[in-house]
Chains A and B, each alone.
Chain A
Amino acid sequence: MKKLILFCIFLFAFVLRFFRLGQNPPSLYWDEASLGYNGYTIATSLKDEHGEFLPLDRFIAFGDYKPPGYIYAAAFSIKIFGLNEFSVRLPSAIAGFLMVVFSYLLTKEWFQKKKISLIAALFIAVSPWSIHFSRAAFEAYLAAFFNLAAVYFFVTSRRKKWLLFVSTLFFILSFYTFNANRIIAPLLLLSLSIIYFKNIKENLKWVIISVFIGSFMVLPSIGFLQSPQSKIRLQEVSILNNLIPLKESNSRIAFDGNTWWAKLIHNRRISYGFDYLKHYFDNFSGRFLFTHGDVNPRLNIQEMGELYIVELPYLMIGVYILFKKREKALVPILAWMAIVPIPAGFAKETPHALRIISILPTYQIIAAYGLYQFISYFNLRVLPLTYPKLRSKLGFASNSVESSFGNPSLVSPVVKRNVLLFVICSLFSVSLYYFLHNYFVHFPVRWSGEWQYGYKEMVQYILQNEKKYDSVFVTQTQGRPYIYFAFYNKYPVNEFIEDKIETTDSFGFYDVKKLGHISFESFDIRDAYGKILYVGSRGDTPPGFQTIKTVKNLAGEVVYVISHKI
C-alpha cells in the first residue's frame, strides 16, 4: 500500500515537472539560452562559446562567469535530445524529480517513520518553490539537489561508511554548480561533521579519503576564485557597496567627539553587521515565504508565497515538537536552514528565492513532521476524550479526564478522523489548484516579457530570410540577442568565433555586436547599402522601411517589428 502511494507521489512529481516543460515558462530567458548554447558547444566540440577547451573553473559566458556544473549536465541532455528548450531545462527537471526521491529518503533516515517521509515527499512534490525552479534552467536548483543528496549521504554514512565519500562528491558538485553553494557547501559540510562528530570519529578511513580527494577536486577552481573576475559579480550586488552605514557611523563618531568609546559603539563594522543581519533575516520573512514570494516575476508567479500558507500551522507545530521531543534531526535541520541564507545576506536584493533555494526541502520536512504530529495528537489525545469506549480502552477512567469537548458523542472516532483528514486534504488541494491554475494559465501570459518572449519567433524568421538581404540589423531592447541567434541557429562554435565581433563593457560584461552580417547595433544603419532587414521594437521603424511582420508576446504586446528596405 505504502509503496503504491510512494509510486503515485513520484509519478505526480514527475508529471508536474515534465508536463509542457519546454513551453512553460513560455520561452528561454538569456541565461537559459546561454547555458544551452555553451552546453551545445561542449557537446559538439568540447569547447565553450569562447573557444576554451572544457573549462573546469568557470564559463565566461556573458562575462558573468557561470559555474560549470549545469552546462556539463546540459551538454549530456543536448547530446541526446538535440539543442532545444526541453533539453536545456532537462537537468533542472530531473533534479526536481530526484529531489522528491531524496527528500523521501532523507526524512526516512532521520525520523524512521514511513508516514512522515511520504508526507514530506508529497509536500516537496507539490511545492511551488520546487516546481517553479525545476521547470527552468536554473543552476541554483541543480545545486540545491546536489546539496540535498550530499546531506542525505552524509547522514546515511552512519550505516554505510563509504557513503561519506559520496556525500563529499555531491558537496563538490554543488560547489561547482552555483556560486552561493561555494560558501554553503563547505560550511554545511563542516557543521554536519561537528553535529555527527561521533560517527565521523569512527569513520576515519573515509574521512581521510574524502578530505584528500575532495581537496584535490576543489583545486582547479582556486585560481579562478582568487582572480578579480570572480569578484565582479559579488561586488555588483554586495551590500558593502552601500555607503550609508559608513557615513552614518562616521557622523555619529564625529558628533561624539571622536572618543574611543564612540568609535566602539558606532563602529562601522557593527552598522554593516546589522545591515547584513537584516538582509539575512529577510529570507525568513513571512511575506516572502507565505503570501507574496520573490518580487522578481521570473522567480515567482507573483500570486503567492514560496510556500503554501496552509503549511504555516504545521511548520510551527513541527518546529515546536522538534524542540520538545529533542529530535536528533533538529540540530542538522536548523544548521542547514541557518547556513543557506549566509551568502544571500550579502546581496542587496533580499529576500531572494533563487540564491537560497538550497534550503529546500527543509521547510517541507518540518511541515510534514508537524502534520504527522498533529494528526497523531488528534488520534491519541483528542479523539479518546470524545468517545467513551475508546476512553476506557485506553485506560482513562470514564470520568477522570474532564472533557473540554462537551458530552462524549456517539459519532465514531473513525468518522471524526476522516473528517479531519478530509479537511486537511481539501485545504491542500485547493492551494495546489490555486498554484497550478495560476502557473499554467496566467503566469506564461502575464509575464512572458520577463522570459524575453518573442526571440524565438523573430530569430527563426530572420534565419529563414537573411540570405535575401545584404545586411540585417537587430535591436537590443530585450538584451543579448546574439545568444538567441547562436542558439536557434545551432551555430557551430568554430564558425561562431570567426563570425562574431565582440565588445566588453567597463564592468567586464561581454556582448557580441555583430554576428556574420547580422548587426546588433543599429546606429550605423544609415551607412548601410543594398537590401536591409531591420528588426526594431514598436515605433522605431526607420523612415523608408516597410513593415513585413510583427512579433507579439503572449500578453499581446508588440515586441518586435520587422521591416525592410529593398
Chain B
Amino acid sequence: MKNKIVLLMIFLLAFLLRFWQLGVNPASLDWDEASLGYNAYSILKTGRDEYGSLMPLAIRSFNDYKPPLYTYLTTIPVALFGLNEFSTRFISALLGTVSIVIGYFLIKELFPKNRHPFYALFTFFFAVSPWHIQFSRIAFEANVALFFFLSGILFFIKGLIKGRYFIVSCLFFGFSMYAYHSPRLVVPLLLIGLFIIYFKQILNNWKYAGISVLIIALFIFPLLLQLGSGTGMRLGSVTILNGNERLGPSIKAIEYDQSRDDLIGKLTHNRRIVFAREILGGYLDHFNIDFLFFFGDPPGRHHSAGMGMLYFWDSVFVLFGIYFLLRDRNRNKYLLFWWFLVAPAASAITTGTPHAVRALLYIPTYQIFITVGIWKFLKFFRSYRYVVFFVIFLFLLNFYYYLHMYYIHTPIEYAPEWQYGYRQVVEEVRKLEDKYEKVVVTYHYDQPYVYFLFYNQIDPTWYQAQWNGEEIQRSARSFGKYEFRYLDWEKDSQLSQGILVGTGEEIPKDVSGRVKDILFPDGSVAFRIVAR
C-alpha cells in the first residue's frame, strides 16, 4: 500500500513537471512545432497534409519529410482542444508521462531481483530527468518515438517468457520508426544485439519470434521505398557522408600517392576510412562531459539555460553505476550496455554532434546507471546519516536550480531560439489586415508562413488549393495577400497600401506608419510592424 502511494506520488510529480504551464513555457512554438500542429489540423479537417497529399507516410513540411506518427496522433488533441500551443504539445507531454510508467515496469523486468525502493528510486530519477522533461514539454517527434521504443523493449523482455509479447514488442518498435528518424537505425541495431544476447530464449519461442521478424520487415519495407525520395532527402541534408569538402584532401592525397606509385598507401585515404573516422568522432562526441553535465548541445531549444542534459549532481553516480553494473551478474546488463552503445548511432552519422534530440533514445539508460550508482552508494553509507542527507541536499539544490533556470531564466534567455514573437505578429496583423491589400513578412527568422497558417487557422482546403505543384523556394513564399521574403528596405519602403513586418535591423526605428514593435522577453526588438 505504502509502495503504491509512493509510486503514485512519483507519477503525479512526473505529470506535473510535464503539464504545468504546458504551451506557456517554452514561450513560443518553434517552426517545426507549428508545422506539426498545422499539418495535424489539415489532416483532421481534410485527411490531407498542407500540400494536399492524402494520408501521407511522411509529412513533407519544410521539405524535411517528418515522420508522420506525431502529426496523426496530434489530430486528437487538436479535435478536442482546438489548434493552439497546448494541443500541439499535448501528445508529447502525455506520452512523456506514460513513459515514466513504462519505465517503472521496465526496470522491474530488467532488475527482477531488486526491491521496491530501487524501482521507485529509478522512476523518480526518470521523472525528474531534465533531458526527458525538456522534450516532453515540446512537440518534438523524438519523444513519442522514445515512448514506443521503451514499450518495445519492455514487451521484448516480457516476450522472453511469454512468446506472444514479441509481437506486441515489434509493433511498438515498428511504430517508433514512424515517429522519428533515429529509431530507423537504432531499432534494427538494438534488435540484432538482443537476438545475440537472448539467443536461447528467443529460440524457445521461435514461432512468435518468426512472426515478429515478419512484422518488423513489414514496417521497414515502406521505409526502404522512401529512401529514394523523401526520407532519403532528409538524410542527405543532415548526414556527414555526403560532404565533398571532407573528401577533398583525401582525393589530393590519393593522387599524390598514385604519382608515387604507392598503391598500399593509397588505401589509407579511401573514402570509407574518411567517413568511418567522421562517424566515430561524431559518435564519441555523445560522451563529452560538457554535453552531458555542463552546457548541453548548442541549440538552446534542447536544454534549460545553464544546464547540461543531466544534472551536474549525476556525474559521479553515472560512473559508479556503470562500474557496479559491469560487475553485476544480472544478464540484462548486456541489453542495457548494448542499448547505451547503439543509442547515439543515428546521431553519429549526422552533422552537429552531439545532438540531444537525435540521441534521445539514450534515456533512460543514464537514469538506470545513476540509480544503480546511488543505490550502491546509499547502501554503503547507510549508517552514516549525514552523508546520506548531504547527498540528498545536494540533489535538491540541483533540482531547485534546474526548475529555477527552466521557469525563470530560460524563457527570457532562449526566447529567440523559439522564434518568439510570431504569435504576437499574427495577432497584430489580423487586427489591421482588412484595411490593406498586401502583407509582407520578413524571412529573417525562418518559415514565417507556417505561423500565419497556424494562428489564423487558415482553412486547409483553401490552402492546399493554393499550391499547384511547382517547386517551393524556401525564402520566397506567398499565398493570399501574404508574402514571405527578406525585406529590402530601400525598395519596400515605397510600398503603399500594405503592411510590412521586419526585424529591428531591417526597418529603421523612426519611420512613418510604425504600428508596433514586438519585443523579445529580454526587451530587444524582435519584429517591427509598419502599415502604410
Contacts and interface: CB of A to CB of B under 8 A. Distances in A.
Interface of A: 252, 255-256, 265, 274, 277-278, 281-282, 284-287, 290-292, 303-304, 309, 320, 323-324, 433-434, 437-438, 441-442, 445-446
Given A441-B257, A442-B256, 17 more contacts: A252-B409, A277-B290, A278-B294, A281-B288, A281-B290, A282-B288, A285-B284, A286-B281, A287-B288, A304-B277, A320-B323, A320-B326, A323-B323, A433-B264, A437-B264, A441-B262, A445-B256
A221 B335 CA distance: 57
Contacts of A274: 294-295
A291 B256 contact: no
A309 B295 contact: no
A2 B264 CA distance: 32
A286 B287 contact: yes
B327 interface: yes
Nearest to B265: A437
Contact of A287 (B260, B264, B285, B404): B285
Contacts of A281: 288-290
Contacts of A324: 327
B284 A286 contact: yes
Contact of A255 (B268, B278, B290, B412): B412
A304 B273 CA distance: 11
B161 interface: no
Contact of B285 (A285, A437, A445): A285
- Nearest first, the 5 A-B pairs at minimum CB distance are A286-B284, A291-B281, A281-B289, A278-B290, A287-B281
B280 interface: yes
Interface in B235-281: 249, 252-253, 256-257, 260, 262, 264-265, 268, 273, 277-278, 280-281
14 contacts: A274-B294, A277-B294, A278-B295, A285-B284, A285-B285, A285-B288, A287-B285, A287-B288, A291-B278, A291-B281, A434-B273, A441-B257, A442-B256, A446-B252
A291 B284 CA distance: 9
Contacts of B262: 437, 441
Nearest to A290: B284
Nearest to A292: B281
- Which residue, of B262, B285, B288, B295, has the highest number of chain A Cβ atoms within 10 A? B288
Interface string B166-191: 00000000000000000000000000
B288 A286 contact: yes
Nearest to B273: A434
A446 B326 CA distance: 45
A265 B398 CA distance: 10
Interface in B403-426: 404, 408-409, 412
A284 B280 CA distance: 15
B295 A256 contact: no
B17 to A, nearest CB: 20
A309 B280 contact: yes
A282 B290 contact: yes
By size class, the interface of chain B is: 20 to 34
A441 B305 CA distance: 47
B429 to A, nearest CB: 31
A441 B280 CA distance: 25
B393 interface: no
Contacts of B265: 437, 441
A282 B409 CA distance: 27
A77 B301 CA distance: 58
A277 B315 CA distance: 12
A441 B409 CA distance: 54
B409 A255 contact: yes
Contacts of A323: 323
B268 A438 contact: yes
A292 B277 contact: yes
- Which residue, of B287, B290, B295, has the highest number of chain A Cβ atoms within 10 A? B290
- Which residue, of B268, B283, B287, has the highest number of chain A Cβ atoms within 10 A? B268
B353 to A, nearest CB: 9
B111 interface: no
A287 B409 CA distance: 32
A442 B254 CA distance: 10
- Which residue, of A274, A287, A324, A446, has the highest number of chain B Cβ atoms within 10 A? A287
B401 interface: yes
A441 B263 CA distance: 13
- Which residue, of B256, B273, B284, B326, has the highest number of chain A Cβ atoms within 10 A? B284
Contacts of B289: 277-278, 281, 284-285
Given A278-B295, A282-B290, A437-B265, A265 B284 contact: no
- Which residue, of A291, A320, A438, A445, has the highest number of chain B Cβ atoms within 10 A? A291
Nearest to B290: A278
B408 to A, nearest CB: 7
- Which residue, of B253, B273, B278, B326, has the highest number of chain A Cβ atoms within 10 A? B253
Given A255-B412, A320-B326, A286 B285 contact: yes
A304 B268 CA distance: 11
Contact of A291 (B249, B277, B323, B412): B277
Contacts of A252: 409
A265 B401 contact: yes
Contact of B280 (A277, A290, A437): A290
B268 A437 contact: yes
Contacts of B256: 441-442, 445
Contacts of B404: 265
A316 to B, nearest CB: 10
A285 B264 CA distance: 31
Interface string B131-156: 00000000000000000000000000
Nearest to B279: A291
Contacts of A303: 277
Contacts of A291: 277-278, 280-281, 284
Contacts of B252: 446
A480 to B, nearest CB: 28
Contacts of A441: 256-257, 260, 262, 265
B204 to A, nearest CB: 15
Nearest to A323: B323
A438 B270 CA distance: 13
Contacts of A265: 401, 404
Nearest to B412: A255
B277 to A, nearest CB: 5
A433 B268 CA distance: 9
A314 to B, nearest CB: 16
A41 to B, nearest CB: 40
A252 to B, nearest CB: 6
Interface in B52-77: none
Given A286-B285, A286-B287, A287-B284, A255 B408 contact: yes
Interface in B321-359: 323, 326-327
B297 to A, nearest CB: 13
A446 B249 CA distance: 9
Contacts of A285: 284-285, 288-289
Nearest to A446: B249
A438 B412 CA distance: 50
A304 B252 CA distance: 17
Contacts of A438: 268
Interface in B281-309: 281, 283-285, 287-290, 294-295
A267 B234 CA distance: 43
B284 A256 contact: no
B318 to A, nearest CB: 13
A25 B284 CA distance: 30
Nearest to B400: A265
A442 B262 CA distance: 12
Contacts of A309: 280
Nearest to A284: B289
Contacts of A292: 277, 281
A324 B287 CA distance: 22
Contacts of B257: 441
A324 B323 CA distance: 9
- Which residue, of B277, B295, B412, has the highest number of chain A Cβ atoms within 10 A? B277
A433 B263 CA distance: 13
